Amino acid sequence: MAGDEVPAALLREAAALGDAAQLLRDIDRLADVQARAAVRHPALYMALVNHYVLCLNAVVSFGTDDACLKPCREALEGGVAKGVFLVTEIGRAGSHLGARTTAEFDPVTREFVIDTPDADAAKFSSVTPGGVPTLGAVIARVVVGGVTHGTFAFLVDLTDGERAAPGVEISAPLTASALPLTYGLIRFRDCRVPYGRWLSDGAAIDTDGRFTDPLGSPGARLRRTMSVGQALWATVPSAMAAMSRRAAVSALRFAKRRPTPSGEPLLAHLTHRRALLGALSGAHALTCAADAALAAWRTRASGEDAGEGALSPWVAVDASLALLKAASTEEAARVVEVCRRHCGLAGFLDVNLLEGYLGAARAFTVAGGDNALIFLDTGRATLTGVRGEEPVIPRELTDPAWWPSVARAHELRLAADASPDHLPRLKELGEATAATLLAGTLTAHPLAVLFGLLQADRLAGRLVATGTLTPDDVRALPDAIDRLCADLAPRLDALTAPFDTEGAAPPLGAPDYATALWNNFAP
């Protein structure tokens, strides 16, 4: 699907899905909708995230003026207009912490006047002047009587499908080849927004111009405004798992059927077998993480005691969901990259979707909260809050408890040796906490064992450096991995069958790849 086709596909999907509040309340359905879109068309998945999980979620969660917002909701839910979320300011890293876009209250008209002071504050999103009508949830600092009162979202008309709305300037289209949507830079100059389009979440300005906010502080308000990210973090692992499953299954079938000059299939060779079974083990781990993220959302147990983040608001909003998002996107990018590399030319053809999956996974390492900042703030929180005795590591490497024990012991040893001022070590500690969290989601399954052994092999230097494993332990890993792969290879069909449920496969996964590819592009 080309980037210019995505908006129309999004509107068709929105018209079929209907009421946003019902969809957003049903986290399992929301995750399923996004996962299926991600497998079919990664760019459409990104558009759905913007439309539902961010824009409409902000309207449903924070909107208070039903009469003013109703026509907008009907347009977004009915497939008449698309929604986007405008938080990123193109010239500054960490712009979510200090948005420079302002929404100044006009006491005479009781409107807000949204302005971007310079090019640094220009917003970035998938918005173009033409195409389809577009509404944006715009993140801006509320200013009343010259005093700033925190960061809120405003629902703003951006385009009518032919041109930019009054007070809105949109650049010529920008493209990002890894994820084929059409993007633009958006600036606001004296853009007037009705009071009812302020997604105030209980804050108010009375007739005398007095501002009140039940949350009490700009920091609390920022975390609340950014809390739309919780639904994103809860569902991103499902999309990452679905794309990884499709990538691994397709790549394994391709390698199983593709002959080498010797007549043996690619999968008969240890390098391919280890890499692609490893990718399948990563897809299994991501599936476990996706289930854990949805469970955390349903119980609302995660993040209740999270402290205020120093470098970003994400960990403070929801510590475990933010970390599951970060761990899942990093692992998905690794899985898909391995699959693409071991499919040769086929891995680079758009029709086989691996490029699109990789672009989506990499995009979410920075979208929805930069993973590096999430790891840094997690490391800082772990440094001050880690508790418990170091677990006893089982002697047998194929014991399902081996990797969770190793991951936890490594995390504790890093925490004992880390400094609050050493950012690289804090990031490493945050990554170790993520590894422990992901390991704790694993079910007792041979693929989970393989995943743990491969993770340990990848982190061998760090594990030896902290004394978590000995050099002899590390030297034993390759043989253990090879033996497990040899045991799993004959069971490949049974292992992949539960993962093959995402609808029509690309040519890469077909029984006869070359014929399927030709039939897709026959003259």
In which element (H, E) is residue 11 found? helix 6-17
On the CB side of 21, how many CA atoms lie within 13 Å of its CA?
Answer: 8
The pLDDT, as a whole number, for residue 307 is 45
Please identify, among 163, 185, 214, the residue that sits at the C-terminal boundary of a domain.
Answer: 214
Distance CA 174, CA 182 (A): 6
Q: Is residue 522 part of a domain?
A: no
The torsion defined by the Cα of 183, 187, 191 and 195, in degrees rounded to 10, comes to 70
CATH code, 399: 1.20.140.10
Domain check: are 197 and 253 in the same one? no
Please identify, among 214, 248, 265, the residue that sits at the C-terminal boundary of a domain.
Answer: 214
Domain check: are 369 and 491 in the same one? yes
Domain check: are 179 and 285 in the same one? no
Nearest to 168 by CA among 143, 196, 133, 199: 133
Q: Is residue 182 part of a domain?
A: yes
End-to-end CA separation in angstroms for the chain: 19
Contacts of 357 (CB under 8 A, 6+ apart): 38, 42, 243, 244, 246, 247, 332, 336
Contacts of 295 (CB under 8 A, 6+ apart): none
Label residues 262-296 b or e (16+ Cβ within 10 Å = b).
eeebbbeeeebbbbbbbbbbbbbbbbbbbbbbbeb
Q: Is residue 513 part of a domain?
A: no
Per-residue pLDDT of the chain (523 residues; tens, 9 = 90+): 565 688 899 999 999 998 999 999 999 999 999 999 999 999 999 999 999 999 999 999 999 988 999 999 999 999 999 999 999 999 876 667 788 999 999 999 999 999 999 999 999 999 988 889 999 999 999 999 999 999 999 999 999 988 999 999 999 999 887 777 889 999 999 999 999 999 999 999 999 999 999 998 998 899 899 888 899 999 999 999 999 999 999 999 999 988 888 888 888 899 999 999 999 999 999 999 999 999 999 887 433 434 455 566 777 778 899 999 999 999 999 999 999 999 999 999 999 999 999 999 999 998 888 999 999 999 999 988 877 789 999 999 999 999 999 999 999 999 999 999 999 999 999 999 999 999 999 998 999 999 999 999 999 999 999 999 999 999 999 999 999 999 999 999 999 998 876 667 789 988 899 999 999 898 8
Distance of CA 118 to the CA centre of its chain: 29
How many structural domains are present in the chain? 2
Distance CA 287, CA 419 (A): 34
CATH code, 17: 2.40.110.10
In which element (H, E) is residue 32 found? helix 27-40
Domain check: are 198 and 237 in the same one? no
Domain check: are 195 and 249 in the same one? no
Domain check: are 146 and 287 in the same one? no
> Contact, 158 vs 135, CB < 8 A?
yes
User: In a 3-state reduction of DSSP, which class is residue 437?
Assistant: helix
Give me the residue label for tokens 């969290």.
Answer: 437
Q: Is residue 116 part of a domain?
A: yes
Domain check: are 371 and 454 in the same one? yes
Q: Is residue 512 part of a domain?
A: no
Domain check: are 77 and 176 in the same one? yes
Put residue 171 in one of left, alpha, beta given phi > 0 → left and psi -120 to 50 → alpha.
Answer: beta
State whether the Cα torsion 499-504-510-511 is positive or negative: positive
How far are the Cα atoms of 39, 327, 376, 418, 436 from residue 423, in angstroms, in the given order? 36, 18, 7, 9, 20
Q: Is residue 506 part of a domain?
A: no
Domain check: are 200 and 231 in the same one? no
Please identify, among 214, 236, 271, the residue that sits at the C-terminal boundary of a domain.
Answer: 214
Nearest to 456 by CA among 466, 443, 469: 469
Contacts of 24 (CB under 8 A, 6+ apart): 30, 52, 53, 56, 57, 60, 231
Domain check: are 165 and 296 in the same one? no
Domain check: are 97 and 122 in the same one? yes
Residue 213 token pair: 């906010």
The pLDDT, as a whole number, for residue 134 is 96
Domain interval for residue 49 = 3-214
Q: Is residue 507 part of a domain?
A: no
Domain check: are 193 and 316 in the same one? no
Quote the DSSP letter at residue 206.
-
Q: Is residue 176 part of a domain?
A: yes
The pLDDT, as a whole number, for residue 303 is 38
> Contact, 218 vs 149, CB < 8 A?
yes
Contacts of 392 (CB under 8 A, 6+ apart): 405
Quote the DSSP letter at residue 86.
E
Contacts of 36 (CB under 8 A, 6+ apart): 242, 502, 503
Residues β-bridged to residue 164? 159
The pLDDT, as a whole number, for residue 306 is 40
